[in-house]
Structure 1
Amino acid sequence: MPEAIEIYDDRMSALVRPGASLQELANGAVHSEGPVYFHEDDSIVWSDAHGNRLLHWSPTNNVSVLRDPSDYQSGNYRDLEGRLVASSSGLRAIIRREHDGEWKVLVDRYQGKRLNSPNDLVVKSDNTIWFTDPPYGITEP
C-alpha cells in the first residue's frame, strides 16, 4: 500500500508532486542501491549489491533479474546516450552496458594500478564519469 510522503523542509516541495506517495516495488534484496529510471519504458534498474544481482522493475513485468551475477555492481547512472554506466567492485572497474546488451569495461586502472573497489558514480553533463574508489575489502592492491 502506498505511503504518504512527509515533508519536513519546504524546499523539498519543489521536488515532490502534491499527493505523491511511496510504494514498495520489490523486497528480498540484500542491499539495494543505485536506482536508475528509464523514462522510455517507465522502468527502474537497481543493484542488489551484496546479493550480487542487478534487478529490473517495469509496470508490466514487475521485478526481474537483469544480471546475475553482477560482479558486485553498485553505483549506476545513465550516460548521455542512455547507456547504463556502473561501478563494479568485483571487476574493480567502471563498466557500461552497450545498446546491444553487452557489458564493456571502461576503466580498471589508474596510473598503472588496479582500481580498488569502485562504488558510487555520476555522469556529468559533458559525459565525463566521476566515481569514488574506496579500498573496501581490498588486501592486495
Structure 2
Amino acid sequence: MMEKFFISAGIFTLISLSSCMNSPSSSNQDKSGQQPAENTNFTTVEVEILNDKAKDILDENIKGTVIADNFIWSEGPLWIDDKELLLFSDVPANVIYQWTPEDGLSEYLKPAGMTTPHEHDKEPGPNGLILNHQGELVICQHGDHALSIMNAPIEAPQVKFKVLANEYQGKRLNSPNDVIIDKQGQYYFTDPDYGLAKAEDKELPFNGVFKIDTSGILELLIDTISHPNGLAFSPDEQNLYIANSNHDSPIIYKYRLDHNGDILDGGVFFDFKPLLDRGPGGPDGFKLDSSGNIYTSGPGGVWIISPEGEPLARLIIENRVSNCALSKDEKTLFVTNTDKVLQIKLKN
C-alpha cells in the first residue's frame, strides 16, 4: 500500500542526483559568504507511506520546520535531551553549531575538525558527534585525521582535545566520518577518505571501519566497504549497521556481533540501487529507534526501514539529506539537509 500526504503546504521540486553522495555541491560552496542564521519557516516535506506500519511512527498532521540555514554542508546532528540542545557540524566551514528552542542558533566550537593552520581545500571540519558515557563530546575530525574527545565541559566548549585515534599501524587515518559507542564503552567509527585535502596523499590503502576497545586498542573491523559512512547498533547491540555512500553500491550492510563486539558475519541489509531515481542522495548517516526501525538518508529524503529490511515510509525532502537525530521520546527528528537543518515533528 502506498499513499502520500503533506507535512506543510508548498511546492516540492526534485533535484537531479549528484554522482557524489556526501560532499557539498558547488552551489552550496558559493553560499559560504552568507552567515548561517536561525530560521523558523515551514518547509514542504511530502510523506510517502509505503506500509501501514508507518502510521505507528508518523502522525498525519506532522510538520517540518527549517530551524537554521545558510550552511555549506550540515552534518552530524546530536540531540542532547536533558539540555534541549542540538549540536551539528558544518564540515567545510570547520565549525560545530548549537541550537536550542529557547536561544536559537549560535556558533559552538571553531576550529572543530582541523586545528592546525595548514591550508585545506576540501572538507577540513568536524563530522559525526556523540556523547560518551562520561558525558564528553566525541568528534570525528576530518582535517586532524582523528577521533577525539573535546577536553572541556559541554556547557563551556574549548578548542582542546584528547585524541582517541589518529593512526593505524603507523599510518595516518583518512578522515573519521561517523562514530557510535556501545554499552561497554567501545567506540566504532568509519574512516572514508572524503575529508582528505586534494594535496594530501592517502596513507592507508583502504577506507576502514574501526573499533577502539575499553583499553584503548584500535582494531580494524572491515576494509572491504568502498565508502563506509554512517553506522549504528541494533537496540540489543547484537547487530551493527554500516552505510556505503557509493553511487554504484548504495547499500546498508548488517553484521552480527559477538559478546566482545567483534564481527561474526554479515552482508547486505538494504540496497538503494533500484531507488536512486527517487531523488538526490543515498545512504549516508542514520539512526535507529527503540524498536529497531532505521531512519536513514536516502534518495529524495529520509527513509524509514523496519528491522526486517522493509521500507515503511519516506519523508521526501528537497535537496540531499546527510544525517538525522531522534529525540529521546522519538517524536522529533532533526535532519541535516545540505545547507539547512530541519526539525520534523513525527508524533504529537
- TM class by smaller structure: 0.7 to 0.9
- Partner residue, 2:90: 48
Greater RCO, 1 or 2 (C-alpha within 8 Å, sep 6+): 2
Deviations along 1:56-90, one digit per CA (max 9) or x if unpaired, are 00122210111112221101122223322121011
1:79, 1:123 within 8 Å by CA — same for their partners in 2? yes
Return the offset for 1:37.
0.3
Question: Aligned partners of 1:69 and 1:16: how far apart in 2?
Answer: 38
Alignment CA distance shift 1:15-1:109 (3 Å)? farther
Deviations along 1:24-67, one digit per CA (max 9) or x if unpaired, are 11101100011000111211000001111100001222101111
- Partner residue, 1:122: 180
- Partner residue, 2:165: 107
1:6 to 47, 61, 64: 47
Alignment CA distance shift 1:130-1:27 (3 Å)? same
Structure 1 segment 1-141 matched on structure 2, within 5 A? 1-3=41-43, 6-10=47-51, 11-16=53-58, 19-71=61-113, 72-98=125-151, 100=153, 101=157, 102-136=160-194, 137=196, 138-141=200-203
Alignment RMSD (CA, Å) = 2.1
Alignment CA distance shift 1:61-1:116 (3 Å)? same
Question: Aligned partners of 1:79 and 1:12: how far apart in 2?
Answer: 31
Tell me the secondary structure at the aligned position of residue 66 of structure 2. Answer: coil
Alignment CA distance shift 1:15-1:105 (3 Å)? farther
Question: Aligned partners of 1:118 and 1:75: how far apart in 2?
Answer: 8
TM (norm. structure 1) is: 0.85
Q: Counterpart of 2:190 in structure 1: which amino acid?
A: T
Greater gyration radius: 2
Return the offset for 1:94.
0.2
Return the offset for 1:140.
4.8
Aligned length: 141
Structure 1: gaps of 5 or more residues: none
Q: Counterpart of 2:71 in structure 1: which amino acid?
A: A
Tell me the secondary structure at the aligned position of residue 25 of structure 1. Answer: strand
Tell me the secondary structure at the aligned position of residue 23 of structure 1. Answer: strand
Question: Aligned partners of 2:46 and 2:135: how far apart in 1?
Answer: 29
